[in-house]
Chain A
Amino acid sequence: MSEMFIAKGDFPAIIERLMSRYRVYAPVKNGRYYDFAALKEAGAADLGFKNTRVSPKGVLYPQAERMFEYSLAKDDPEVNIVKETPKDFSPQVILGIRPCDAKGFKLDDANFCSDKFKDPWWAQRREATTLIGLACNTPSSTCFCTTVNTGPFDTTGLDAMLVDTGDGYALQVLTEKGKNVLGIVDLKPAPAQVAGKIEELKAGAEKSIPTAFDPAAIAQKETLEIFNAPFWDEIHFGCLNCGTCTFLCPTCWCFDIQDEVQEGTKGDRLRLWDSCMFSLFTFHGSGHNPRSQKVQRVRQRFMHKLKYYQDKYGTGTACVGCGRCVQACPVNIDIRQVGRILGSGCSCPA
């Protein structure tokens, strides 16, 4: 589809127009960091960010979510019957999502919606959400999206993409969904020189990201060969099992289900983000724990991202190279280094 153009001065009015019809999430500066938040005013959106601290997965899959509710009152005729909690699935927009995070949603889709089971909350929010992305002109030193089958200008997960051309945003509308949402705003066609400018920015951004490891080499390895390899002792050594990596990751979707009771007479069943870094994650009622050791939990996380997901779906790794785990790890465990070790089959200096 043809490119449109929004002058920076016109941008707040465009956001306001979107907000009149949709709930709009955008990066908002929060202390030293950026996070996606539902906008209350158009001016709060700040696209001058590298990437948000936490991935936007929480927009589709909140960290804590009521699944069901029930009454425990003895005199209630429906006592103990678990019922759906009403939810708002009205249309919404994530504005400024990076191409890597949008690709992450596609990888998450494979988990939440298989042929056999559809997670109703993920599916309905996903359907209600339009992704207007922002291409990365200046990737971070921790970015490695091009290694894992996406890139700073990758449009595969997006409904529309903005490119910051300095004085304004070039806008590519990519899907029907994107067309419908952006149909409500007045857009001008992009000036002729914009296409060349985008190509130039794209080439520059892609060039700035080195190749970190070879996912195909990992796919070719025997699972048990790398699972049983001695290098895990070295990889896991510094890990604190803090779970920060799983919390920030756009493709860490694991959750717990817990019941919470208020005032003894009514309660909720909740779904809460959980982490394979925690020993309780796999702890049986009997006391047995198949992943009782830290090394097993660290191995599980990296094997899942880089090996199991590749083998299960054949669509590449469950990693989009956003680099959040690399930036935030308190002991500097680096998934790029782990990827090199898995691909080469040893922890020799890469």
Chain B
Amino acid sequence: MNNPYLPYPVRIDSVITETEDRNLKTFKFIFLNPEDEEKFKYTAGQFAMLSVAGQGEIPIGIASSPTEKGFIKFTVNKVGRVTTFMHNMKAGDIMGVRGPCGNWYPWDILEGKNLVIIGGGFAFTTLRSSIVYMLNPENRSKYGKIDVVYGARHPGLLLYRDELAAWEARDDINMHITVDGTTDPNWKYNVGFVPAITKQKAPSAENSYAIICGPPVMIKFTLPVLTELGFPPERIISSLEMRMKCGIGICGRCNLGTEYVCKDGPVFTLEKLSKLPNEY
């Protein structure tokens, strides 16, 4: 019988420190058994359970895109036991990955639509997956205009800085990078909180969907801006975080009413969330 709790063994291929505070590292994994990569077929927006023998398991959004083959990537914030242990692991070490888990951004519905992607802090991982996926030459024509508002507290806390610069240089994606503040006199991008920058850039709601991921305070103040721009709740999509153990809707802890964030989410429209108990 297929065991959904059994992780696929992976080798850490590289560990990159993403941020100046060294709290975020990106782990690139290669499956020890190449056939497991095919079994781990995922879609942008999903997450996986990362497994470290002797430490435990944690749910982490998949930062690589399904269009990137031969590896998977996760950006991990150092907060608890497993993540702290992982931050001291190195290339060559063996660990496990289980999944993919949960639903994904509704790519079928999003075809032919404009996308406004809004991210804050380290909640940019599945958004990175999504952007890389959409910018892939095979996919780019399926989507309309892409606007990205991405903010961090200061420039040293932005993830994937080389890629952000590369996207800035492209003409098929409108990047609006911002920081809460900076002392860097050469800072070329925006300064201001994500809600304010979203309001200032005012991406059109016409034929558009918004995907928003970030800290609760950012989401709280950005939603009214989106509403003002004309985005109805069914076209605002978010992804939730929860404490999880099984990742497959069985262990009982991550529910919002009838819905398990691990299995029925983590991606919900604002309309759906408004009908569920707000225990997140």
The contact sample of 9 A-B pairs, CB cut-off 8 A, is A79-B94, A81-B53, A82-B6, A124-B1, A223-B257, A256-B251, A259-B54, A285-B58, A296-B279
The answer to whether B241 and A284 touch across the interface, beta carbons within 8 angstroms, is yes
A82-B7 CB under 8 A given contacts A111-B250, A254-B251: yes
Number of B residues, CB within 8 Å of A: 45
The answer to whether A285 and B251 touch across the interface, beta carbons within 8 angstroms, is no
B interface, CB within 8 angstroms of A: 1-7, 9, 32, 51-58, 79-80, 83, 93-96, 241-243, 245-246, 248-255, 257-258, 263, 275-277, 279-280
A257-B277 CB under 8 A given contacts A79-B94, A290-B242: no
The answer to whether B57 and A254 touch across the interface, beta carbons within 8 angstroms, is no
The answer to whether A285 and B249 touch across the interface, beta carbons within 8 angstroms, is no
Select which of B2, B95, B241 is within 8 A of A80 by beta carbon: B95
A117-B7 CB under 8 A given contacts A123-B1, A223-B257, A261-B54: no
The answer to whether A281 and B253 touch across the interface, beta carbons within 8 angstroms, is yes
In the bound complex, residues from chain B placing their C-beta under 8 Å from that of A261 are 54
The answer to whether A291 and B54 touch across the interface, beta carbons within 8 angstroms, is no
The answer to whether B53 and A290 touch across the interface, beta carbons within 8 angstroms, is no
The answer to whether B5 and A223 touch across the interface, beta carbons within 8 angstroms, is no
The answer to whether B275 and A80 touch across the interface, beta carbons within 8 angstroms, is no
The residue among B241, B253, B279 with the most chain A CB atoms within 10 A of its own CB is: B253
In the bound complex, residues from chain B placing their C-beta under 8 Å from that of A22 are none
A interface, CB within 8 angstroms of B: 67-68, 70, 72, 79-82, 84, 111-112, 114, 116-120, 123-124, 223-224, 227, 253-259, 261, 267, 269, 274, 276, 281-286, 290-291, 296, 300, 303-304, 308, 311-312
In the bound complex, residues from chain A placing their C-beta under 8 Å from that of B253 are 254, 274, 276, 281-282
The answer to whether A117 and B51 touch across the interface, beta carbons within 8 angstroms, is no
In whole angstroms, what is the CA distance A111 to B58 when docked? 21
A267-B53 CB under 8 A given contacts A111-B250, A117-B250, A223-B277: yes
A117-B4 CB under 8 A given contacts A70-B54, A72-B53, A259-B53: yes
In the bound complex, residues from chain B placing their C-beta under 8 Å from that of A300 are 255, 279
In whole angstroms, what is the CA distance A68 to B4 when docked? 12
Which chain A residue shows the least CB distance to B9? A81
The answer to whether A68 and B1 touch across the interface, beta carbons within 8 angstroms, is no
The answer to whether A116 and B1 touch across the interface, beta carbons within 8 angstroms, is no
The answer to whether B4 and A118 touch across the interface, beta carbons within 8 angstroms, is yes
The residue among B54, B80, B96, B251 with the most chain A CB atoms within 10 A of its own CB is: B54
Which chain B residue shows the least CB distance to A261? B54
Question: Nearest 6 pairs between A and B by C-beta?
Answer: A254-B252, A285-B80, A285-B79, A70-B53, A80-B94, A312-B258
In the bound complex, residues from chain B placing their C-beta under 8 Å from that of A291 are 279
Select which of B1, B9, B56, B94 is within 8 A of A120 by beta carbon: B1
B233 to chain A, nearest CB (A): 15
The residue among A67, A256, A276 with the most chain B CB atoms within 10 A of its own CB is: A256
Select which of A112, A259, A283, A296 is within 8 A of B56 by beta carbon: A259
In whole angstroms, what is the CA distance A276 to B243 when docked? 12
A281 to chain B, nearest CB (A): 5
Select which of B53, B55, B83, B258 is within 8 A of A311 by beta carbon: B258
Select which of A81, A124, A308 is within 8 A of B94 by beta carbon: A81
In the bound complex, residues from chain A placing their C-beta under 8 Å from that of B277 are 223-224, 227, 303
Can you name 20 extra interface pairs (CB under 8 A) apart from A257-B5, A282-B242?
A68-B5, A72-B53, A80-B93, A82-B9, A82-B51, A82-B53, A114-B249, A119-B4, A120-B1, A120-B4, A253-B250, A254-B252, A254-B253, A282-B243, A282-B253, A285-B80, A290-B280, A291-B279, A304-B255, A311-B258
B253 to chain A, nearest CB (A): 5
In whole angstroms, what is the CA distance A227 to B80 when docked? 31
In whole angstroms, what is the CA distance A285 to B80 when docked? 5
The answer to whether B56 and A257 touch across the interface, beta carbons within 8 angstroms, is yes
Which chain B residue shows the least CB distance to A252? B252
In whole angstroms, what is the CA distance A195 to B241 when docked? 57
A63 to chain B, nearest CB (A): 14
In the bound complex, residues from chain A placing their C-beta under 8 Å from that of B258 are 223, 308, 311-312
In whole angstroms, what is the CA distance A120 to B6 when docked? 11
In whole angstroms, what is the CA distance A119 to B245 when docked? 14
In the bound complex, residues from chain B placing their C-beta under 8 Å from that of A67 are 5
In whole angstroms, what is the CA distance A209 to B219 when docked? 51
In the bound complex, residues from chain A placing their C-beta under 8 Å from that of B254 are 282
A59 to chain B, nearest CB (A): 18
